Structure 1
């Protein structure tokens, strides 16, 4: 396939650009045929001969399956031709992120990939773009943000903490620091949570855009969480521990040592960033973010994980050990209680509570575990 001369972006009056390909999306259109040869099919929107389905109709582009692109240009929804598995392709520059492929493939290779404590996103393939030796595409399972849909019970939140605690501990045991274990870089495999699927770009709509995507709760269908994005991650030899790494701020800019030194040990940074995620999104919230009720039992551990002095933070081994003790002290009633966001309206909270109690009675009768761990 010849991709040396990409097609120019169509020149249209501004009023007609709604729903059209953005400049960033043109990359995916220009590599559609090559990816198909590799065994991966993109959405119809990126076919070279694509014609918008709403043209000549009374439909609005935003209501059509092919009317929207991905929320970020570096990722793209795809389907594996051989078996129809839904995938995500991630575009990376190897010169900018030289370790991402190596670390991703390290955790995706047996026997490490088969360890139940490994919560690093599986990398199925790494493709070098034929017309640019610096650009690679990583092939991964299709995932959703870890908190979309919202957590229904405290037990569901506890399982989320457990999996990521173990996942970071597993990375550290292999002498790898994630260095950006923040909100955007923790995802979940929600395929079984959405039996009828969901639109790849507008996640709250069903695949054909005819209505909202219906989902189960995590208690009904347990999910697996994954740490993603190893662009800032580094692997060290055991004799190099503790390492001293130049500061590269990820998604969480509040790490205390970032403001006081030029280099630091990245392993306590991982402890801080995930502890701060729990603090921000489950315990405290802020003017933009809701806290979630029912998780005050995490306060002492999170306080230690987010201490300003990194030498006083627990290691991930110690975090997991303390968390196991915390879990043992939580009763079924507590674990089955409903998670309420601080910014929820009274009206919506009332109806959510009714639905929650209906599910709760069924779960108790059927002896469904209050901490929904995947098999």
Structure 2
């Protein structure tokens, strides 16, 4: 039975999870303390009134928990203390993603390095859920793909390479996703946050700044991360290549040209479409939205591929396998452009004001210079894709800017490199960001110093 506090402070969705608290605990998963049947709010225990609590923080907390509780919620695996996601799914509906998750999480696919699908850790069959034709699936604790921030083009290309590789892997298994978009792409950041992180920052947008979170142990350059696709509720699984067929649209990605023409014609019936080129289009549009639209000159090498991926006619789009090959051919030709700075991508995920944009730009420019120094160190002065780096030294933040200067046998040239970076870094204190031409001159100085030092 719910306590007075739970009726007052928990949303209706949260109260649904509260009723499952004991059942989940009996199967080895513990929900937050607020869902315990005897929960009493901490502020009431301490005699603190709601007026003494920052209203915005309380609103964000409640909204986030209510939003997640609709279908998924964070929990702790009792046996090892690991944080996981629990997701409520209807196994009797057409949006049942369990067969796909079982396929991609089975041997030998589970440990395949090309597999970038969410991992199914467990399936919980709870009587109360079974009566509704549902079950609860358990997945690792994933984080949004853009948080922490990417700073270098090299980081972005590693991200895109994994997404393309993951799509090709899915399609090789005769599986489609059906709803590729930013919110369905996550990151396994457990190596960056070995002690865990605050799950409430996921999907929180600008409000995440008002929530406490852990500091990452290192960047994507220091610590390899894996990007994954989640939410296969609109996906399809076919037994073989020969049994693939067109399907009806029941939801999912809404921007397909082959479907928009149907709605414009105002036909009542649903026309069939091929879900495989539809996935290619959706991923291409995602890449265009975040890495091409606002910065068309940032990655010119992959622009032709993206254009083909979003071709209006499905027959004109490359297959996922072809996308991987073309992308890697184009990316492998890049070197110093991998050092280019990315704009603050996460600003695209919410309607940032001009003031927010300027402040974020200023703050992230500071981090960029540190990240650039580390990138050049781990690549040995020869910028290349992160996937081509076999090992990455574990560096502390204090070492980042000074390690280059101490590297032998070209310590004098490394010192010049550090000075060049520091010159650019000093501009953080100015009222405006340095012009791109100034940055490029510093990059050329870095390149010259390294090349001279190795001659």
TM-score, scaled relative to structure 2: 0.71
**Conserved? CA contact 2:97–2:235, under 8 Å:** yes
Aligned partners of 2:194, 2:248: CA distance in 1, in Å? 45
1:9-28 Cα offsets, whole Å, 9 max, x none, are 8599xxx94xx110001111
1:38-62 Cα offsets, whole Å, 9 max, x none, are 0011111111111111122255176
Q: Identify which range, 138-147 or 350-359, moves more after superposition.
A: 350-359
Q: Structure 2 unaligned runs (5+)?
A: 263-270, 348-355, 391-455
Partner of 1:82: 79
1:271 has 2:275 as partner = no
Q: Secondary structure at the match of 1:36?
A: helix
Partner of 1:45: 34
1:283 is matched with which residue: 284, 292, 296? 292
1:263-303 Cα offsets, whole Å, 9 max, x none, are 11100000000000011121115xxxxx6872333211111
Distance 1:239 1:271, change over 3 A: closer
Deviation for aligned residue 1:239? 5.2
Deviation for aligned residue 1:226? 0.7
Partner of 1:231: 233
1:364 has 2:384 as partner = no
Q: Secondary structure at the match of 1:137?
A: strand
1:180-235 Cα offsets, whole Å, 9 max, x none, are 12211111111222355322213589xxx984532332112221011111111111
Q: Secondary structure at the match of 2:214?
A: coil
Deviation for aligned residue 1:366? 4.3
Partner of 1:3: none
**Conserved? CA contact 2:74–2:84, under 8 Å:** yes
Deviation for aligned residue 1:120? 0.9
1:156 has 2:152 as partner = no
Q: Secondary structure at the match of 2:201?
A: coil
Q: Secondary structure at the match of 2:288?
A: helix
Aligned partners of 1:212, 1:11: CA distance in 2, in Å? 26
Aligned partners of 1:25, 1:339: CA distance in 2, in Å? 38
Which residues in structure 2 correspond to 1:134-149 (within 5 Å)?
134-149=133-148
**Conserved? CA contact 2:124–2:137, under 8 Å:** yes
Q: Which has the larger radius of gyration?
A: 2
Deviation for aligned residue 1:329? 1.0
**Aligned alpha-carbon RMSD (Å):** 2.9
What is the number of equivalent residue pairs in this alignment? Answer: 354
Partner of 2:311: 307
Q: Secondary structure at the match of 2:42?
A: coil
1:57 has 2:48 as partner = yes
Q: Secondary structure at the match of 1:126?
A: strand
Q: Secondary structure at the match of 1:114?
A: coil
**Conserved? CA contact 1:219–1:370, under 8 Å:** no
**Conserved? CA contact 1:9–1:26, under 8 Å:** no
Partner of 1:339: 342
1:157-184 Cα offsets, whole Å, 9 max, x none, are 1111111111110111111111112211
Distance 1:195 1:98, change over 3 A: closer
Q: Identify which range, 30-39 or 110-119, moves more after superposition.
A: 110-119
Partner of 1:4: none
Distance 1:86 1:132, change over 3 A: closer
Partner of 1:125: 122
TM-score, scaled relative to structure 1: 0.85
1:172 has 2:171 as partner = yes
Q: Identify which range, 83-92 or 238-247, moves more after superposition.
A: 238-247
Aligned partners of 2:323, 2:227: CA distance in 1, in Å? 18
Greater share of residues in helix: 2
Distance 1:234 1:351, change over 3 A: closer
Distance 1:319 1:47, change over 3 A: same
Aligned partners of 1:202, 1:350: CA distance in 2, in Å? 22
Distance 1:146 1:362, change over 3 A: closer
Aligned partners of 1:110, 1:44: CA distance in 2, in Å? 36
